[in-house]
Amino acid sequence: MPTLAPGRASRQEGFTLLEMMIVLLIIGIATSMATVSAFGGNGARELRQDAIRLAQLFTAAQAEARTSGRPIAWVYDGDGYHFARLPQRLTLPARMAVRAQPVRDAAIGGDTALRPREWISSDPMVVRIEPDVGVVFGPDWLPGPLRMEFEAGGNVVRLSRLGNGRFMVDP
């Protein structure tokens, strides 16, 4: 059985440069694979950004409706979306009025958070809303639940309003 004589420098004290480079290469490959699987392609990321931005804008629209006391409707089409203030005195309930006619309000314009916007996603957007009565933010403090589904380029993202008024994006 061979033994090491004291004073001989036959033991290795660390890693070689080649070993370090191989380990860093393996970490880089694993990180890139995890990033692609977690965030998907560009289409999925853009669709999720649309949903997150809408969740933030819906919160702002709800706060604005509570502050002003006037309902605000969210109106969308294939190109984008905008928010519109509904008249203070309605002959129809706000949700029915938004379905009856397209609404525009010049007061919600270019320099506000609720300005008209285009979809971030470059693919054609399909929006499904449940319940399908239009999205109206009123002065009430306990809005009802809302479920929306956005589909573009084969990707689907869901946006839900919880019972406490908060919005959640999934996945």
Cβ–Cβ < 8 Å for 6, 121:
no
Whether the per-residue pLDDT at 39 is higher than 60: the answer is no
Residue 56 pLDDT: 93
Q: Is 21 strand, coil or helix?
A: helix
Name the least confident of 34-43, 94-103, 116-125. Answer: 94-103
Average pLDDT, the chain: 82
Written out in words, the top-level CATH class of the domain with range 42-170 is alpha beta
Among 92, 94, 68, 71, smallest CA distance to 83 is for 71
Average pLDDT over residues 3-22: 73
- Please report the pLDDT score of residue 171 as a whole number: 81
Kindly report whether the peptide bond that precedes residue 171 is cis, defined as omega within 30 degrees of 0. Answer: yes
pLDDT of residue 120: 92
**11 pLDDT above the threshold of 80:** no
For the stretch 20-35, pLDDT in tens is: 889 888 998 888 777 6
Cα–Cα distance measured from residue 157 to residue 18, given in angstroms and rounded to the nearest whole number:
44
Average pLDDT over residues 63-91: 85
pTM metric for this prediction: 0.69
Answer whether residue 107 shows pLDDT above 70. Answer: no
Residue 147 has a pLDDT of: 94
> What does DSSP assign to residue 151?
E
| pLDDT at res. 7 | 59
Band the pLDDT of 106: cuts 50, 70, 90: very low
pLDDT tens digit sequence for 117-145: 999 998 999 999 998 888 988 887 777 78
Q: Report which of residues 9 and 29 the model is more confident about.
A: 29
Radius of gyration of the chain (CA): 27
Q: Where are the alpha helices (DSSP H) in 40-113?
A: 42-68, 94-100
The ranges assigned to domains in the chain are 42-170
Cα separation of 15 and 12, whole Å? Answer: 8
